[in-house]
Amino acid sequence: MPFPAKSPLILLTAVIALIGGIVAARFLISTERVSPEPVNATWLRAPRPLPEFELLSHSGQVFNKESLAGNWSILFFGFTNCPDVCPTTLGTLNRVVGEIVARGNRQPRVVFVSVDPMRDSVEKMAAYVPYFNSGFIGLTGDLADLQTLTRELGVAVSYSPLESAVADGEQQNYTVDHSTALFLVDPDGRLNGIFGAPHITEQIVDDYLIITGQS
């Protein structure tokens, strides 16, 4: 052997390096995965229960807090006389639920709540909401009941007159300023997450699946 005196030292160094390597590998290649965080949505780690409320679905049935049981729900507030933001968002939500189902998950319940119950009758909601997706639910009802929900969720709603009169003599010519956020409610009727604008289909789907613990 060329270096008999040094060989035990080399062997010891090699053993230490090997042990060090194994320890480092165990740290680096951990089998425990860190749970992902939503990228764009706000995730309420302590879910907030919704207040008791009672509205009417577009099929004329009572819809209250208990109606939210059994499935995840995405709530969106708008009105049928809104020609721009509301149809755009409902179209996006149609693609969102399509993508969630395409990825092998259950279709969430989508609830479109009218912030204009004075003009949005049950009949109007019945004609409007299913156009975007036959599974979507439209809600309307008394303004006081609506406000119970909007106050708790922090949905800003204000009514502004439109400047010019409409030719058909419609008396109530106003528009409604409203929050465009989407509210994610769990099957126990608790607010879990908020998706702010702009609403991008892929981002909503990714964050929805993270918050709901699906893949």
Partner 1 sequence: MTTISLSPASLKSEYRRLFSRAGAWGFPLLLLCACTQPEAVTISDAWIREAPPGAMRLAAYLVIENKLSSTITLTGVSSESFATAQIHQTTMDDGVARMRMIDELAIEPGQLQSFNPGGMHLMLINPKVNVVAGDTIVLVLHFAKQADLTVDAQIKVGQ
Residues that bind partner 1 (CB under 8 A): 80-85, 87-88, 91, 124, 127-129, 131-132, 156, 160, 162-164, 166-168, 170, 175, 177-181, 196-198
Q: How far is the CB of 163 from partner 1 (least distance, A)?
A: 5
H or E element that contains 16: helix 7-28
**Single-letter amino acid code for the residue at 110:** V
Nearer to partner 1 (CB atom), residue 143 or residue 197: 197
**Single-letter amino acid code for the residue at 194:** I
Token pair for 98: 């399509």
Nearer to partner 1 (CB atom), residue 37 or residue 177: 177
Q: Where are the alpha helices (DSSP H) in 29-158?
A: 85-102, 122-132, 143-153
Among 38, 90, 46, smallest CA distance to 210 is for 38
Among 180, 121, 172, 183, smallest CA distance to 149 is for 183
Token pair for 77: 């507030």
Q: How far is the CB of 57 from partner 1 (least distance, A)?
A: 16
Nearer to partner 1 (CB atom), residue 132 or residue 208: 132
Q: How far is the CB of 187 from partner 1 (least distance, A)?
A: 26
Give dist(CA 203, CA 190) in Å, integer: 22
Q: How far is the CB of 173 from partner 1 (least distance, A)?
A: 9
Nearer to partner 1 (CB atom), residue 90 or residue 211: 90
Q: How far is the CB of 115 from partner 1 (least distance, A)?
A: 11
Nearer to partner 1 (CB atom), residue 37 or residue 123: 123
Please, is 207 exposed, middle or buried when counting C-beta atoms within 10 Å of its C-beta (0-12, 13-18, 19+)? Answer: buried
Q: How far is the CB of 195 from partner 1 (least distance, A)?
A: 11
Give dist(CA 210, CA 159) in Å, integer: 36
| Bridge-based pairing state of the strands 54-57 and 137-140 | antiparallel
CA 169 to chain centre: 39
Strand partners, 54: 64
Nearer to partner 1 (CB atom), residue 16 or residue 156: 156
